[in-house]
């Protein structure tokens, strides 16, 4: 065996970024406003976050199994150009077509990413009766980097991170306060600095 083989540089294999799954929840903010809820984000998260709560008495009330860490992005959809989001099937393509009608001008989006595979059907089912809910589109498998790019197409800011039972505010103040989140069964960790 040569010295070069013993002591030479080994090229490390390039590891692919782990693929997870992401979802975009599409809401008609005009319908939400017309129902008397002028703060779209507050209305959506009051109804959405309890479906992620671990501390529920009946697990059937959960909309999604909290398998780890979820990163949430949300806001009015404000694309600067063409938006080409992935969809799983024809039903999701129809949801995206409805949401993108009139250049997304009436749309509020809550998007989230996790690095695991998730069954989104129970969550989608529980949201169907929520005023203003258009539907959900998913992208899986998808890397965090790619999902981040997709949220950027819609100009959605990073909002909160859910670590099992803890919600960390990633911005300059989340829609829901500490007491309200604790009533839902979460621990609240405010924004740093």
Q: What is the pLDDT along the chain (193 residues), one digit of tens a residue?
A: 443 433 444 444 444 567 899 999 999 999 999 999 999 899 999 999 988 887 665 556 666 665 578 999 999 998 888 888 999 999 999 999 999 887 888 999 999 999 888 888 989 999 999 999 999 999 989 999 999 999 999 999 999 999 988 999 987 567 888 899 999 889 998 776 4
Strands, E assignment, the chain: 19-28, 69-76, 107-114, 133-143, 158-163, 166-169, 187-189
Q: For residues 133 and 27, is the Cβ–Cβ distance under 8 A?
A: yes
H/E element holding 179? Answer: helix 178-183
Across the strands, what pairs with 74?
Answer: 110
The residue ranges of every structural domain in the chain are: 18-189
Which pair of tokens denotes residue 42?
């507050």
What is the Cα–Cα distance from 34 to 94, expressed in whole angstroms?
Answer: 24
The model's pTM is 0.85
């Amino acid at each position: 065996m040569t010295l070069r083989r013993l002591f030479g540089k080994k090229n490390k294999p390039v590891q692919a970024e782990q693929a997870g799954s992401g979802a975009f929840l599409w809401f008609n903010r005009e319908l939400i406003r017309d129902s008397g809820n002028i703060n779209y984000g507050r209305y959506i998260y009051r109804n959405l976050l309890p479906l992620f709560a671990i501390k529920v008495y009946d697990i059937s009330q959960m909309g999604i199994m909290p398998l780890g860490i979820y990163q949430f992005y949300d806001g009015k959809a404000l694309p600067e150009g063409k938006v080409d989001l992935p969809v799983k099937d024809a039903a999701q393509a129809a949801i995206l077509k409805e949401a993108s009608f009139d250049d997304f001008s009436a749309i509020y989006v809550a998007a989230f990413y996790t690095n695991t595979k998730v069954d989104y059907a129970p969550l989608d089912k529980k949201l169907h009766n929520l005023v203003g809910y258009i539907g959900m589109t998913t992208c899986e498998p998808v890397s965090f980097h790619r999902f981040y790019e997709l949220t950027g197409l819609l100009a959605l800011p990073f909002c909160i991170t859910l670590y099992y039972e803890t919600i960390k505010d990633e911005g300059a103040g989340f829609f829901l306060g500490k007491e309200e989140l604790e009533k839902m069964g979460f621990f609240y960790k405010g924004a740093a600095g």
